[in-house]
Amino acid sequence: MEKKSGFSSRLGFVLAAAGSAVGLGNIWRFPYLAAKYGGGIFLLVYLILAVTFGFALMITEIAIGRKTGKSTISAYCMIDKRFSFLGYLASLVPIIIFPYYCVIGGWVVKFLGVYASGQGHAATAEDYFSNFIGSSAGPLVCLAIFLFLTSLVVMLGVEKGIEKVSKFLMPVLILMSVGTAIYSLTLDGAMEGLVYYIKPNFSEFSIKTIVAAMGQLFYSMSLAMGIMVTYGSYMRKEDDLEKSVRNIEIFDTLIAFLSGMMIVPAVFAFSGGNKDALNKGPTLMFVTLPDVFDSMKGGHIFGLIFFLLVLFAALTSAISLMETIVSIISDKFGFGRKKICIGVMIFSFIIAIPSSLGFGVLSHITIFGYSILDFFDFISNNIMMPVVALITAILIGFIVKPKFVSDEVESSGKFKSKKMFEVIIKYVVPVCMLIILISSLAGYV
């Protein structure tokens, strides 16, 4: 058999997988969820879920990938022919997410351009963001730039492209996050924000806190869409699996935590402690933050670094999405990587056009009340991903048995959390997934 190219070291694998996990979800979604759902108590719940439920799902996917050495479709088919539909379902998720993720990546490119050209003040104009995403050509050009950059890295391959880029970008990301968080804490009034972010506020704790933390964790770790299966298939057989998963989790959680440290205190300082400024949901990053940067001394540099950081995070996530699609096609049809990359790039651009125009000329089109982009987001995150995780947990927990995963983990090291893993994959994951599914369908969160 032809030798499959892969990551050259454990560090390379960990950084690439962490690059996939660390994305817009960490930087923009985590801080506002934490602020909304009780600060410290949300952090605590998130942490407990990460080391149990998140851990079990991630190690399962990576073990499936490494054991079979295949991309998603072929991997599930190899485990059990009756479950090949699961491979198809899981593969559909990145195909749906990738185009619209690039649309958002394009918005980040735009804002980076704004700060790089010293026009940060312009971005504070009322409706600047909505006017931009409501236009046609601008967002499409930015989308094309983001998509092109992503494709370039994937085209270079796993070791020469993905691993190299991750090894450079991820440490830089940590440095930038620590630096900006420290600066943010020195602003007048920031301490109050820090306390609000970290101190547990039990009055805001409810079952919603747990459901929100669960949903966030799941998305943040790039689970249930074949990404970790694909990256697992490129992992070296001799590298310690459990340790690697722990490293990826720490990386992902650390960046999420640090993002809160840069955003929450800065917003507090800007708004004089008005918490409503944080509750802006999705527009926090593109509307509130430019105002915050504009009010700060050196805010334009801060803004520039911030959007560069967001771009790096978004790029490494998009790369993992595209690689997953490319590996599926390559496994199935055996075309060359370059050809596939160009094909996927063009196809994804075309599919992304409606999502991009959905805020402008196509804004009259809504599906179940959602804009086109939000609809894709809802279908993939709230419905398909929990379904994939649920069926995966059933397959591993009850059909092939958790030993399937444990054997793979133990082939390259100790599996310290084996007992915990078995219980979680059999019982906890299915229950959690059902709760997420039901609450999404009921519009609970």
The nearer residue to ligand PHE, 374 or 422, going by C-beta atoms, is 374
Which residue is it, tokens 């409606």? 354
With CB under 6 A as the rule, give the number of residues binding ligand PHE. 13
219 binds ligand PHE (CB under 6 A): yes
Please state whether 385 falls in left (phi above 0), alpha (psi between -120 and 50) or beta. Answer: alpha
What distance in Å separates the CA atoms of residue 193 and residue 266, rounded to the nearest whole number? 8
For ligand PHE, the binding residue among 165, 261, 321, 425 (CB under 6 A) is: 321
Residue 52 as a binder of ligand PHE (CB under 6 A): the answer is no
Site for ligand PHE in 381-410 (CB under 6 A): none
Q: Closest separation between CB of residue 73 and ligand PHE, Å?
A: 17
Least distance from ligand PHE to the Cβ atom of residue 138, Å:
23
Is the separation of the CB atoms in 234 and 5 below 8 Å? yes
In the complex, minimum distance from the CB of residue 219 to ligand PHE, in angstroms, rounded to a whole number: 6
Which of 6, 12, 19, 25 binds ligand PHE (CB under 6 A)? It is 25
Task: Indicate the residue among 64 and 296 with the shorter CB distance to ligand PHE.
Answer: 64
**Which CB atom, from 296 or from 352, has the smaller least distance to ligand PHE?**
352
- Nearest to ligand PHE of 320, 412 (CB atom): 320
Indicate the angle between helix axes 385-394 and 55-68, nearest 10 degrees.
Answer: 70
Interacting residues of 229 by C-beta distance below 8 A, sequence separation 6+: 61, 62, 64, 65, 70, 71, 72, 75, 90
CB of 396 to ligand PHE, least distance (A): 21
Out of 177, 184, 222, 417, point to the residue binding ligand PHE (CB under 6 A): 222
Query: In the complex, what is the shortest distance from the CB of residue 321 to ligand PHE, in angstroms, rounded to a whole number?
Result: 5
- Percentage helix, strand, coil for the chain under 3-state DSSP, each rounded to 5: 80, 0, 20
Q: Which stretch binds ligand PHE (CB under 6 A): 151-159, 315-323, 368-376, 398-406?
A: 315-323
Q: How far apart are CA 36 and CA 68, in angstroms?
A: 42
**Phi (first) and psi of residue 178, to 5 degrees:** -65, -45
Question: b/e string for 234-270 if b means 16 or more Cβ within 10 A?
Answer: bbeeebebbebbbbbbebbbbbbbbbbbbbbbbbbbb
218 binds ligand PHE (CB under 6 A): no
Rounded to whole angstroms, the Cα distance separating 262 from 30 reads: 12
Q: 104 CB contacts (<8 Å, ≥6 apart)?
A: 24, 314, 373
Angle at CA 317, nearest 5°, toward 436 and 375?
45
Residues with Cβ within 8 Å of residue 279, at least 6 apart in sequence: 32, 35, 36
Instruction: Give whichever of 74 and 220 is closer to ligand PHE, judged by the CB atom.
Output: 220
Distance CA 194, CA 110 (A): 30
Nearer to ligand PHE, 321 or 436 (CB): 321
Q: Least distance to ligand PHE from the beta carbon of 120, Å?
A: 24
| DSSP letter (8 states) at residue 39 | B
**203: DSSP letter:** G
CB–CB of 147/349 below 8 Å?
Answer: yes
CB 25, min distance to ligand PHE, A? 3
Task: Tell me the C-alpha distance between 352 and 372, whole Å.
Answer: 10
Does the protein bind ligand PHE through residue 21 (CB under 6 A)? Answer: yes
Residue 269 makes CB contacts below 8 A (sequence gap 6+) with 184, 187, 188, 189, 190, 193, 292, 296
Q: Which one of the spans 15-23, 170-178, 189-197, 260-268 is the region binding ligand PHE (CB under 6 A)?
A: 15-23
Q: Which listed range, 42-50, 103-111, 214-222, 420-428, lies at the site for ligand PHE (CB under 6 A)?
A: 214-222
- Of 6, 12, 23, 65, which one interacts with ligand PHE (CB under 6 A)? 23
Q: Which of 150, 166, 259, 317 binds ligand PHE (CB under 6 A)?
A: 317
The answer to whether residue 26 forms part of the interface with ligand PHE (CB under 6 A) is yes
Q: At its nearest, how many Å lie between ligand PHE and the CB of residue 27?
A: 8
Please choose, out of 41-49, 317-325, 346-354, 366-374, the segment that lies near ligand PHE by the rule CB under 6 A: 317-325
Quick one: which of 230, 320, 356, 382 contacts ligand PHE (CB under 6 A)? 320
> Per CB under 6 A, does 97 bind ligand PHE?
yes
- Separation in Å, CA 399 to CA 52, 69, 77, 83, 275: 21, 20, 14, 10, 48
Question: How is 262-293 classified by DSSP, letter by letter?
Answer: HHHHHHHHHHTS-GGGGTTGGGGTTTHHHHHH
Nearer to ligand PHE, 232 or 402 (CB): 232
Amino acid at 63: A
- Contact letters (x/-) for ligand PHE, 260-299, by CB under 6 A? ----------------------------------------
When binding is defined by CB under 6 A, the residue of 18, 24, 154, 289 that contacts ligand PHE is 24
Provide the binding-site residues for ligand PHE, judged by CB under 6 A.
Answer: 20-21, 23-26, 97, 219-220, 222, 317, 320-321
